[in-house]
Amino acid sequence: MKDLSLSPENCTTMIEVRAGVDALDRELVALLARRFGYMRAAAQIKPTRDAVRDEARKASVIAAAVAEAEAQAIPADVIADIWERLVEGSIAYEFAEWDRIRD
């Protein structure tokens, strides 16, 4: 389906804003599905269950998202909160996949 939404700068009505947000939300979910695909791949690659949680990598991923948020001039604290939940959810998903694959 082609996205017919306007850029935020060109919206003049709430209908246009909402259409843009709805279209973007669909894109975000598709990107998250791809990200979770990488978590499935990681679960297949990591040799031990203990390798799933990597606190240094978690900190690095969140720091990179915060830096990108700052570069994009959007609220870095909000992005940090979102990425904390995203990474923890990804770790939980990877644990579940690791267990499922080796069951």
How confident is the model at residue 56, as a pLDDT?
Answer: 98
Number of domains in the chain: 1
How confident is the model at residue 103, as a pLDDT?
Answer: 87
- Residue 73: left if φ>0, alpha if ψ -120 to 50, beta else—which one? left
For residue 10, CA distances in Å to 7, 17, 33, 73, 84 come to: 5, 9, 29, 19, 32
Residue 89: pLDDT band by 50, 70, 90 thresholds? Answer: very high
Which structural domain, as residue segments, surrounds residue 45? 13-101
pLDDT beyond 90 at 5: no
Q: What is the model's pTM? A: 0.89
Specify if 8 maps to a domain: no
Specify if 52 maps to a domain: yes
pLDDT beyond 70 at 4: no
CATH number at residue 24: 1.20.59.10
Mean pLDDT of the 69-94 span: 98
Mean pLDDT of the 62-81 span: 98
Residue 3: pLDDT band by 50, 70, 90 thresholds? Answer: low
Mean pLDDT of the 1-23 span: 88
How confident is the model at residue 2, as a pLDDT?
Answer: 54
Q: Beta-carbon neighbour count of residue 6 at 10 Å? A: 15
Q: Residue 21 in contact with residue 70, Cβ under 8 Å?
A: no
Residue with tokens 């644990």: 95
